Structure 1
């Protein structure tokens, strides 16, 4: 059991979001769905109140709390990706159906939640002791939406 569990506030889509997110990553599952009692003003009786789910081993709670508090970019989740194929798969899945791409590997999914899709190679290049090469990699990344590993590597290796 984790000592800290992020709670994500949804406007009636917690179960849909949990099912979607858990379909994307290994070691993920929906753990528990709690239905609302009859006297809850934010969720109809019998409707989903909370969903406990695990993403890549990290527990989360999805709460159907209503429209008062939409997601903002102030909180995002970063996904460490092995290679370009994983970047492409997650980027495409998370932007489909109303999601929106942004810059530098950031996007919003159809529920409004912000994600950073980060290939494992990127932080290695950005923290390289050759600060000029790291700077070229950073400049290349700043011009991208979805991260293109080959493009950043070309910039990193350029002389």
Structure 2
């Protein structure tokens, strides 16, 4: 039986190595594992010069990625995003600030952001998931209303709404 592994492939337009370096600098226990280059074989199809970085394989805290320098044909959007579960406000602030640096300010809403490469991330406190899973629908409603007004998640503000103290 073969070992099955799901690897996320991200399509870039020339920034694959730069992006992989950026992401591995943010997440603990992360590293670039392989860099492959285009050759002149198939150049009539792929259109890239021999020697240019084609694929960068990297790992972010146990999640495998391939960054492909495919070209300008495809762009990232929020239809696909990566959710980061954060234990506390310090983690929320860290990932929000690091990933959001240089990103599109208009795409920061309800804990979502797009980084400088256009990749969408959700920076979510685990406390929010717990609040939204509560059986008291009034608490859930208040928390949801508070969340919808936030760009970056504020755990204290969410907690106040959850407890009806706003």
Q: TM-score range by the shorter chain?
A: over 0.9
Could you tell me how far apart the structure 2 residues matched to 1:37 and 1:80 are? Answer: 39
Q: Which residue of 1 aligns with 2:40?
A: 38
Q: Verify the 8 A CA contact 1:42 1:64 in the aligned structure 2.
A: no
Contact 2:112 2:123 in 1 (8 A): yes
Aligned with residue 150 of structure 1, among 147, 150, 156: 156
> Structure 1 residue 115 and structure 2 residue 121: aligned?
yes
- Distance in 1 (CA, whole Å) between partners of 2:127 and 2:103 is 28
Deviations 1:53-77 (A, max 9, x none): 0012010100000000011111000
Q: Report how far residue 97 of structure 1 moved.
A: 2.3
DSSP-derived class of the 1:156 partner: helix
Name the CA distance, whole Å, in 2 between partners of 1:97 and 1:118.
20
Q: Are 1:104 and 2:118 matched, yes or no? A: no
Of 123, 134, 146, the residue aligned with 1:128 is 134
CA distance in 1, matches of 2:16, 2:120: 15
- In 2, are the aligned partners of 1:42 and 1:65 still within 8 Å (CA)? no
Q: Summarize deviations over 1:134-159 as a string: whole Å, max 9, x none.
A: 11111100110000000000000116
Aligned equivalents of 1:103, 1:157: Cα separation in 2: 23
Partner of 2:55: 50
Paired residue secondary structure (1:80) = strand
2:15 matched residue in structure 1: 13
**Given the superposition, is the C-alpha separation of residues 57 and 73 from structure 1 closer, same or farther in structure 2, using an over 3 Å criterion?**
same
For residue 27 of structure 1, report the CA deviation from its aligned partner: 1.9
Task: Report the number of matched residues.
Answer: 159
What is the TM-score normalised by the length of structure 1?
0.94
Deviation at 1:38, TM superposition (A): 2.3
4+ long deviations beyond 6 Å: none
Q: Distance in 2 between matches of 1:42 and 1:76?
A: 29
SS at match of 1:144: coil
My pick for the range that moved more, 34-43 or 133-142, is 34-43
Could you list the runs of 5+ residues in structure 1 that have no partner in the other structure? none
CA 1:99 to 1:58, structure 2 compared with 1: closer, same or farther past 3 Å? same
* Counterpart position of 1:92: 97
